[in-house]
Chains A and B, each alone.
Chain A
């Protein structure tokens, strides 16, 4: 900005306040990562002694943690498949076609991102309870898809809009049929977006607590449900290691998406936050 040259005081003030806020935001995450290697669990920060015992406990086969990690992975994988199917079809309709009632469908897609999750979770509970599907990984995955599909759809819409439709025209003019165009032109160009959609669907499900809480039974608890219980009732230091793994997973996922986009060389799917359609 160029209205007036910035004063030194203003400059220093801005830099200091921003740094303090950013540090404050980053600290909880750093603390978890460090504490998870502390021998004495949640005791003190920084820990006096370091060990990997909580990680070993987390991964102990047959234990609560290992079981729920397996369940969460299954649910997240199912959610990813469902979200990708919905994401690709819905984005094709919304980004490419001349869809009648475009605004209505778009609004329907955005709605789950804005409606309180507790209401969605309650509704799903009332939906699956009579069917005796509580605790079923399929039910939890379908529930998670309500939250993950809109994200996948937004990413795919932005991906498809980033692909020049006339490339498909060019292929058609050389004699390529619809399937060939989809397989050899559109799909390869949409791959970075597809990977981003898959990654964000997966971590949305893997981290989701509320719907899983409502749809779970004492025998089937996803990882976030177990973490929540551990935090609220019995403080099990293993939870720190689990949290650290979840942080690592999220960062790896984001790095993967960034890498794929860089390799793809063209910008697709900017933001997974529903901020753009709202402003």
Chain B
């Protein structure tokens, strides 16, 4: 009966493969071909030169900037959280993980709405800060980049915390004990032993938040101002309001290429680690 396994596996793999080829791969190819077609149907790179110049280019740049800021902030916050959770008592650690992960399953729209209420001029944060007579309060935390990055960071945080937790759990604490035994200071242990050990996780988490942020739309659209128009919002506008499908397609392909580049870096880093590991175990 095990002889039929690969045949059964093939048959079972058919539905998902067909489905994703028809409704995922083929439509993306459609986007690609549309982006290379002029109004008369001939091949052109016009949409790309258009996308990479003037106001369009600045949209692309602010998308990259917001993604990078989000990646950095979610790494920082994620690291602090994951590090603290690793040292909490199990009950508190479970509770903390619940607070980190449960929002992931709540609509991003709803969470963004929550941030809007909370960060507004008369929102909870500003009310608290004003009553505490913080200098300069109320701050403008909404409809600018601060608001967008706070919102997107909260969306990416479950990913970064989970990934960082994974690598932190993998750190052999005896290595740190050994370093302490040689008389290394806390700072030395942290920067020379601990950080290099968790570095692969930091890289993965940062890149992943960056990639996932590139095509993100809801939070920048609702919490940003004019300076925070992102590529996804531009695509939405061009399709829904301006009927400029070709241009939208070109932007889509650019996002896709940026994503592939990010995934490529992730893959290369993994490959290098694997190779290094193979070298070590073979010698």
Using CB atoms and an 8 Å cutoff, list the residues of chain A in contact with chain B: 1-4, 6, 14-15, 17-18, 21-22, 25-29, 31-32, 35, 42, 44-45, 82, 85-86, 89-90, 92-94, 96-100, 105, 108-109, 111-112, 114-120, 122-127, 142-143, 145-146, 149, 153, 172, 178, 200, 203, 206-207, 209-210, 213-214, 224, 227-228, 231-232, 239-240, 243, 246-247, 250-251, 253-254, 271-273, 275, 278-279
Contact = CB atoms under 8 A, between A and B. Distances in A.
Nearest to A82: B19
B122 interface: yes
Given A89-B15, A231-B113, 6 more contacts: A22-B100, A28-B154, A93-B9, A111-B24, A117-B215, A149-B19
A1 B163 contact: no
B104 A273 contact: yes
Contacts, number: 293
B16 interface: yes
B91 to A, nearest CB: 14
B239 interface: yes
Nearest to A142: B23
A97 B8 contact: yes
Given A42-B117, A122-B239, A213-B236, A89 B159 contact: no
Ranked nearest first, the 6 interchain pairs of A and B with the lowest CB-CB distance are A116-B215, A97-B9, A28-B114, A123-B27, A3-B176, A18-B84
Determine the interface band of chain B, counting residues with CB < 8 A from chain A.
35 or more
A242 to B, nearest CB: 8
A236 B173 CA distance: 54
B20 A146 contact: yes
Contact of A273 (B122, B158, B245, B252): B158
Nearest to A122: B252
B221 to A, nearest CB: 7
B222 interface: yes
Given A18-B80, A254-B105, A90 B13 contact: yes
B81 interface: yes
A27 B163 contact: no
Contacts of A4: 180, 186, 189
A275 B84 contact: no
B259 interface: yes
Interface string B38-75: 00000000000000000000000000000000000000
Contacts of A115: 28, 215, 256, 259
A120 B28 contact: yes
A251 B101 CA distance: 11
B215 A243 contact: no
Contact of A28 (B26, B118, B158): B118
Nearest to B173: A1
B222 A232 contact: yes
B182 to A, nearest CB: 11
A256 to B, nearest CB: 12
B85 A27 contact: no
B107 A105 contact: no
Contacts of B162: 271, 273, 275
A143 B23 CA distance: 7
B137 interface: no
B16 A109 contact: yes
B84 A17 contact: yes
B81 A21 contact: yes
Interface of B: 1, 5-6, 8-17, 19-21, 23-28, 30-31, 34, 77, 80-81, 83-88, 96, 99-118, 122-124, 127, 154, 157-159, 162-163, 166-167, 173-174, 176-177, 179-180, 186, 189, 201, 204, 208, 211-212, 214-218, 221-222, 231-232, 235-236, 239-240, 245, 248-249, 252-253, 255-256, 259, 263, 266
Given A18-B81, A209-B108, A86 B15 contact: yes
A239 B116 CA distance: 13
Contact of B173 (A2, A109, A232): A2
Given A45-B123, A114-B263, A146-B23, A93 B30 contact: no
B117 A125 contact: no
Nearest to A28: B114
A180 to B, nearest CB: 13
Given A25-B154, A124-B27, A98 B201 contact: no
B159 to A, nearest CB: 6
A1 B176 contact: yes
A250 B124 contact: no
A149 to B, nearest CB: 7
Contacts of B21: 108
Contacts of A6: 87
Given A90-B13, A97-B12, A250-B102, A122 B248 contact: yes
Contact of B159 (A21, A94, A99, A273): A273
A209 B110 contact: no
Contacts of A119: 28, 31, 215, 252-253, 255-256
Which among A82, A117, A142, A231 has the greatest number of chain B C-beta atoms within 10 A?
A231
Given A32-B110, A42-B117, A122-B31, A279 B166 contact: yes
B110 A243 contact: yes
